[in-house]
């Protein structure tokens, strides 16, 4: 079986969750798509889970470039409103602030890791002379 954009035909007009390469999670109704798997989502919300809270922001009509789609799946409408027990809904601003703090901590850990590797003689990305 080949994986092609034509398989999206069965998902048209259904509620989907789309996970993007940058980690964002979008939930919306698939209205249109093309041969490159570019998607048009209607009534889209962006949902963020961080620590033990979650929040969502309404995004409306959303166009997603196909190369940015990491995962795509249909939402079970019976289970759509059920969020797992350890999570509790919070205002978007609170969740977004926690998410930003978590990303900053991750960046600091990554920089410290890169410094340790560099001390061992490894080069960072694009650091060498004559590399393309």
* pLDDT, tens only, 40-73: 999 999 998 888 888 889 999 999 999 999 999 8
| Domain formed by 5-119, architecture | Roll (2.30)
| Distance, CA of 47 to CA of 17 (rounded, Å) | 10
Domain spans of the chain? 5-119
pLDDT band at 101 (very low <50, low <70, confident <90, very high): very high
Residue spans of beta strands (DSSP E) within the chain: 15-20, 25-33, 39-50, 53-64, 69-74, 88-89
Query: Is 46:60 a contact under the CB 8 Å cutoff?
Result: no
Collapse the DSSP code of 118 into the 3-class scheme (helix H, G, I; strand E, B; otherwise coil) and give the result.
helix
pTM for this prediction: 0.74
Residue 104 is predicted with a pLDDT of 93
Token duo for residue 14: 């259904």
- Residues in contact with 59: Cβ distance below 8 Å, sequence separation at least 6, in sequence order: 26, 28, 44, 45, 46
Render pLDDT for 67-82 as a digit per residue (tens, 0 to 9): 999 999 898 887 766 6
């Amino acid at each position: 079986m080949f994986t092609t954009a034509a398989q999206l035909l069965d998902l048209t007009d259904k509620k989907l969750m789309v996970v993007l390469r940058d980690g964002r999670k979008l939930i919306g109704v698939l209205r249109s798509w093309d041969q490159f798997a570019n998607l048009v989502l209607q009534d889209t919300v962006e949902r963020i889970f961080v620590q033990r809270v979650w929040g969502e922001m309404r995004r409306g009509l959303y166009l997603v470039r196909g190369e940015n789609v990491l995962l795509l799946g249909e939402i079970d409408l019976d289970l759509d409103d059920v969020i797992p027990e350890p999570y509790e809904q919070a205002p978007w601003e609170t969740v977004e602030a926690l998410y930003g703090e978590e990303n900053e901590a991750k960046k600091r850990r990554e920089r410290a890791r890169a410094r340790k590797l560099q001390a061992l003689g490894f080069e960072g990305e694009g650091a060498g002379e004559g590399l393309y």
